[in-house]
Amino acid sequence: MASLPREAIVAFVNRSALFGGLAAEEHTLLADHCELKTFAPAQTILQQGQSYNTLMVLFDGHAEVIIDGGASGKPFVLANLEPGAQVGEKGFMDLGPAAASVVAQDSVTTLCLSRQAAQKCGLYQAIIESIAGIQADRLQQANAKQINAMQAIIDRQAEQNAFGRFYIATIMLFAVSSFVPDYANESPSFQLFIRWVFLILILLPALYAVSQQKAPVSVFGITTAGWKRALMESLLVALAILPLMVLFKIMGAPADQPLITWATIANYSGAQLALYIITYVPHSAIQEFIARGVGQGSLQRFMADAHFLKPIVLAGLLFAILHLHLSVGAAALTFGISLLFGYLYYRHKSLVGVTVLHILLGLSATALGLI
């Protein structure tokens, strides 16, 4: 048994939520009928399955509520208790043996009140009513947590359904587009128009998926947080890749062919070429928003336990399919580049760097006649 000044015990009783409904003189009376008991670290305060008739309130120290693991043999920590928490209510109210064990985490002192002592001082019924009120509050809080958890599951399912519809709509669009005749020989105006039509058709389900996920736009990479670092890394990557692209062009092209050809859009006029370059900026930004922000970002959220490369690969496949209208080779090259883009986006969670890199590499590859 521990020994503390009576004034300290009375002060603790005054502060206790369990005894808050008692009058001041009853606090003093209660303190006279309580005992202090100390427990060493790792010592059992209550043993699951044993019967008790004493209510204990933690005066100081911390304890764990532990449930027997049953067939698994592994105990489960149900709760962590701090000073002011009470244990032993079930035995105090003569409702059977302890439903869980309570073990001291450090040196613990408890204020103990037996059922007989509470009855002797005439406070047993008032304390039971206080316990019932606290239990009701706990139950209400537990119910609120359960409802919130269930709502979170419902919201997450709605997000997954919306994201699934986005992917289904995208795949269906690609399936339809595979039957569209090659428009490489069509007029530049028609080419620009059809590229934007396909992009907008994919953007619409992507925006729908975003609206259903109930998340801030920063989750989808629309943020300025860390943009300087993301931009700097992307520029360094561009400086490393551009010489390789130039070398690839020199080694693969005829000796008399100029370095800059714009081969795939050679029939564009000066004004059309300027329009292509100008519109390539928002076109690239939207592509990155769809592939990285919505595609990869959503996959990373829904595949939180998966290896970080899986969402990157899946989003890269989507991004590559966006370029099938150019050629299979262009789609394959895009997939490889997308893995790099995906990793950069994974690092920074910002569309700034990958969008700038997309613009630089895309325009450079087009100017060199590679795509």
Length of the chain: 371
Residues of the chain whose pLDDT is less than 50? Answer: none
For the chain, how big is the Rg over CA atoms in Å? 34
Tell whether the torsion through CA atoms of 247, 253, 255 and 258 is positive or negative. Answer: negative
pLDDT single digits (tens) 191-234:
889 889 888 988 888 888 888 777 889 989 999 999 999 999 99
pLDDT of residue 323: 67
Nearby residues of 19 by Cβ (< 8 Å), 6 or more positions away: 13, 26, 27, 30, 127, 130
Strand partners, 58: 110
CA-CA distances (angstroms) from residue 312 to 205, 218, 296, 327, 333? 20, 18, 6, 22, 15
Distance, CA of 38 to CA of 53 (rounded, Å) = 17
Phi, psi (deg, nearest 5) at residue 148? -65, -40
Cβ atoms of 165 and 208 within 8 Å: the answer is: yes
H-run or E-run covering 100? none
pLDDT single digits (tens) 298-327:
888 888 788 999 999 988 887 787 667 667
Instruction: Report the alpha-carbon angle 358-207-276, nearest 5.
Output: 35
Residue labelled with tokens 């064990």? 101
Strand partners, 76: 67
Burial of 347 from C-beta contacts in 10 A (0-12 / 13-18 / 19+): middle
Report the largest interatomic distance among the alpha carbons of the chain, rounded to a whole angstrom: 109
pTM as predicted:
0.61
259: its two tokens: 């370095």
Distance, CA of 210 to CA of 298 (rounded, Å) = 9
